């Protein structure tokens, strides 16, 4: 059984090495015209940032807007300001550090903003539950 499993893992490892060798070592090794042609057919950084903001993925939107600014896209500054303003209007993800819009629905009643000091850990696992878990773990005989 161990030999069969070892052979399978070795085969998968060799397959991973082969796949890694087929990937260019640097993005610069891909010709610039190929990247330009591929990028011309899809949405730009600004459009992607605005789409991420519409989907309530503000962390992604900020990163895309910052990338657009680094690439010196003309509308990037206005997009970054718009995303930052939207981020300021929705303090729950900013306070809790969660980019997912479901976090508000699960952990916070509609219209209520959590206190600044309150973390997700305090909401999902209150202190009394953490103390009880620590007590149970400290009295456990298992070392692993």
pLDDT band at 6 (very low <50, low <70, confident <90, very high): very high
Percent of the chain with pLDDT over 70: 73
Yes or no: say if 45 and 67 are a contact pair by the CB < 8 Å rule. Answer: yes
Q: What secondary structure letter does DSSP report for 43?
A: -
| Domain boundaries defined on the chain | 1-42
Cα separation of 25 and 10, whole Å? 23
Is the per-residue pLDDT at 116 higher than 60?
no
Contacts (Cβ under 8 Å, ≥6 apart) of 90:
56, 58
Which pLDDT band, with edges at 50, 70 and 90, does 28 fall under? low
What local confidence, expressed as pLDDT, does residue 10 receive?
95
Residue the block writes with tokens 């992607």: 48
pTM score, whole prediction: 0.44
């Amino acid at each position: 059984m161990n030999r069969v499993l070892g052979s399978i893992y070795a085969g998968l490892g060799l397959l991973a090495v082969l796949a890694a060798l087929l990937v260019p070592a640097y993005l610069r090794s891909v010709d610039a015209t190929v990247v330009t042609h591929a990028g011309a057919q899809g949405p730009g950084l600004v459009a992607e940032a605005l789409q991420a903001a519409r989907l309530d993925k503000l962390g992604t939107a900020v990163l895309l807007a910052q990338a657009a600014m680094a690439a010196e896209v003309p509308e990037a500054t206005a997009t970054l300001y718009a995303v930052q303003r939207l981020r300021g209007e929705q303090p729950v993800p900013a306070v809790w550090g969660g980019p997912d819009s479901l976090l508000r629905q699960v952990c916070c009643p509609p219209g209520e903003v959590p206190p600044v000091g309150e973390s997700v850990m305090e909401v999902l696992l209150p202190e009394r539950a953490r103390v009880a878990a620590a007590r149970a773990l400290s009295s456990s005989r298992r070392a692993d």
